[in-house]
A and B are shown apart, each in its own frame.
Chain A
Amino acid sequence: MSRRRFRQAVLLVAGWAVVGAFLAPLAWMVLGSFKTTVDFLAYPPVLLFRPTLANYAKVFADNNFPRYVFNSAVVAGGATLIGLLLGLPAAYALARYRRTAVGVVLLAARMAPGIAFLIPLFVMFLSVHMVGGYASLIASHLIFTLPLTVWMMVGFIEAIPREIEQAALIDGCRIPGVLTRIVVPLTVQGIAATSILAFIASWNNFLFALVLSNDRTKTLPVAVLGYIGYNSIEWGTLMAAATFITLPVLVLALCVQRYIVRGLVAGAVSG
């Protein structure tokens, strides 16, 4: 084998070993979702077992599970959409007009612990009887979807050649027009990536939902705790639910993986 081939082989093995190690817990979770509780708790751990679909059946038979999926979707969707509507113009201003005030505020938002907002928001929502409603959940999620959106979009907007916009401006286009006719079409992929990342962040959020949701609006991460019963834990069902919750996120993330880094780095670099 040539030196190069050998090197390639070593890298391949190393690469898969590393990534495999990272994926192993996820695989274990999926495997566990097909095990009965006895098999799941068995030690030494069993790799060969009689698989069962009972756990998934149980998850879906639970009347409330579709409701939780719906709740997660509504809250994440709402927070993402509103984040986009507010964040896109702001990102444009930050990118083109160097309105750094917004940037600083958003960076501060990124830095603040969620609990610093959670406590007062909870007290405020309580006094207007809004605790437990979708509105309060979505509003609280904006705390991280809006900064994330601006953060990422700034990078994508900066990548658009200035000449294109300026040409449009000369042609008599006003700013709203520039936004809708130039910026949006040229950053469609960036918008998609940003939306998906914001959606994921909102979908995965645990703390805000724990405090601000009620039984009707409970989101999935909180619902997962519900499988910890009064005297027992339904491990198999818990794994099935966990798999089900993480699955959409994993799929979405793979679609936009190219842009994830750009988004993560963009704001930090310009900040």
Chain B
Amino acid sequence: MADRAARSPGVLARADLAHRTAVARGRRDWTPDLLTAPALVVMALVMGFPLLYLGYMSLHRWSLIGFAPPAFIGIGNFAALIGDERFTNSVIRTLYFTGLGLASNLPIGLGIALLLDQRFPTRNLLRALLILPMVATPAAMGLVWVVMLDPSLGIVRYLFKLVGVMAPPLWLSSPAWVVPTLVGVDAWMWTPMVALICMAGLAALPGEPFEAARVDGANAWQRFRFITFPLLAPTLLVAAMLRVMDLLKVIDIVYVMTGGGPGHASETINLYNYLVALSYDRIGYGSAVALVLFALVLVCTLALIRLRRATI
């Protein structure tokens, strides 16, 4: 193949021109559509159609066990959402969760990336090992964390005692601390991802600005503040975008670790959605909640994409 690639530029240019001319003449090149068709068809079946159905269900009062047939109530469910205190609390709580998550994941991930960007022995091994929390099965790890965080029997309490903190918070049992604790577990799992993304970003940074700065006598902090950080902004926003998408939707660890408790102190939108739809058997209402959650994620992510475009 390599020898063919070495053909004269003229031949290649003509081939390219041929394609572009065909397109310009309005003769559609069907190739790309055929390539994407199977994927789009499947997506339509497992995603598109269900979403439409979800929208349909959200306009009804619908019970799966079916003591009454589904009844069309228009935007009744959405109107009820506004007055549903448990729902609005879950939205605020989820936003709080997301905010805390970003505030912790990004700086710590960046810090780890800066550390592992340096050259020292075993660095590559460390980078490899860092991915492990990311890929461990969340459901299983959630249960492990529950045991570790147990205020009476857990090892976390023991470790705090060793450093002299005799009465650490009650973690998952404290209404005030349960969300930060869950953010902590989530951070344990996903900060490595942020770190890895930042490492890739750091690796792609050009060397000249740093050289110039060093020549000008800038110290490490100044180099970071005026060169590294601004250049890394787009990368950080990518990491932020990926994290925001997952933080807003968190359910796995909440379900397994607290079930939304104590009381409703850790009930995120997604968990409330699950309970309403599948436990309380109010599918229509649950569909409305799901749509609202979807809209929320869309809005936040698009905002971040905009922000990123502005920084490039």
Answer yes or no: A and B touching, Cβ < 8 Å.
yes
Tell me the A residues contacting B by CB distance below 8 Å.
8, 11-12, 14-16, 18-19, 22-23, 25-26, 28-29, 32, 40-45, 82, 85-87, 89-90, 92-94, 96-97, 99, 101-102, 105-106, 108-117, 119-121, 123-124, 126, 139-140, 142-143, 146, 150, 161, 163-164, 166-171, 175, 182, 200, 203-204, 206-207, 211, 220-222, 224-225, 235, 238-239, 241-242, 245-246, 249-250, 252-254, 257, 260-262, 264-265, 268-269, 271
Determine whether B105 belongs to the interface, using a CB cutoff of 8 Å to chain A.
no
Query: Given A16-B126, A26-B133, A238-B143 in contact, is the A175-B35 Cβ separation under 8 Å?
Result: yes
Question: Which one of A16, A19, A85, A221 has the highest number of Cβ atoms from chain B below 10 Å of its Cβ?
Answer: A19
Whether A116 and B5, one on each chain, are in contact in the complex, defined by CB atoms closer than 8 angstroms, is no
Pull 23 A–B residue pairs with CB atoms less than 8 Å apart, ordered by A: A8-B120, A15-B116, A19-B130, A22-B133, A25-B145, A26-B132, A43-B158, A45-B155, A45-B158, A109-B43, A110-B245, A113-B273, A115-B293, A116-B294, A142-B46, A143-B47, A163-B12, A175-B35, A206-B137, A225-B139, A238-B143, A246-B137, A260-B196
A89: min CB distance to chain B, Å: 4
Whether A120 and B133, one on each chain, are in contact in the complex, defined by CB atoms closer than 8 angstroms, is no
- B132 touches which one: A11, A23, A92 (CB < 8 A)? A23
Whether A113 and B137, one on each chain, are in contact in the complex, defined by CB atoms closer than 8 angstroms, is no
Tell me the B residues contacting A by CB distance below 8 Å.
1, 4-5, 7, 11-12, 15-16, 29, 31-36, 38-40, 42-43, 45-47, 49-51, 53-54, 57, 64, 112, 115-116, 118, 120-123, 126-141, 143-145, 147-148, 152-155, 157-158, 188, 191-193, 196-197, 199-200, 235, 238, 241-242, 245, 248-249, 251-252, 255-256, 270, 273-274, 277-278, 283, 286-287, 290-291, 293-294, 297-298, 301, 305
CB contacts (< 8 Å) of B297 on chain A: these are 111-113
CB contacts (< 8 Å) of A126 on chain B: these are 64
Whether A29 and B141, one on each chain, are in contact in the complex, defined by CB atoms closer than 8 angstroms, is yes
CB contacts (< 8 Å) of B54 on chain A: these are 116-117, 119-120
Whether B4 and A171, one on each chain, are in contact in the complex, defined by CB atoms closer than 8 angstroms, is yes
Whether A261 and B200, one on each chain, are in contact in the complex, defined by CB atoms closer than 8 angstroms, is yes
Whether B152 and A115, one on each chain, are in contact in the complex, defined by CB atoms closer than 8 angstroms, is no
Q: How far is A94 from B59 in the complex, measured between Cα atoms in Å? A: 36
Nearest 3 pairs of A and B residues by beta carbon:
A242-B140, A97-B32, A90-B39
Q: How far is A111 from B296 in the complex, measured between Cα atoms in Å? A: 10
Query: Given A207-B252, A242-B144, A260-B131 in contact, is the A89-B39 Cβ separation under 8 Å?
Result: yes
**What residue in chain B is nearest A21 (Cβ atoms)?**
B188
Whether A175 and B31, one on each chain, are in contact in the complex, defined by CB atoms closer than 8 angstroms, is yes
A83: min CB distance to chain B, Å: 9
CB contacts (< 8 Å) of A25 on chain B: these are 133, 141, 144-145, 148, 188
Whether B35 and A268, one on each chain, are in contact in the complex, defined by CB atoms closer than 8 angstroms, is no
Query: Given A93-B36, A102-B39, A111-B298 in contact, is the A161-B50 Cβ separation under 8 Å?
Result: no
CB contacts (< 8 Å) of A18 on chain B: these are 112, 115
B7: min CB distance to chain A, Å: 6
Q: How far is A12 from B122 in the complex, measured between Cα atoms in Å? A: 8
Question: Which one of B51, B127, B148, B290 has the highest number of Cβ atoms from chain A below 10 Å of its Cβ?
Answer: B290
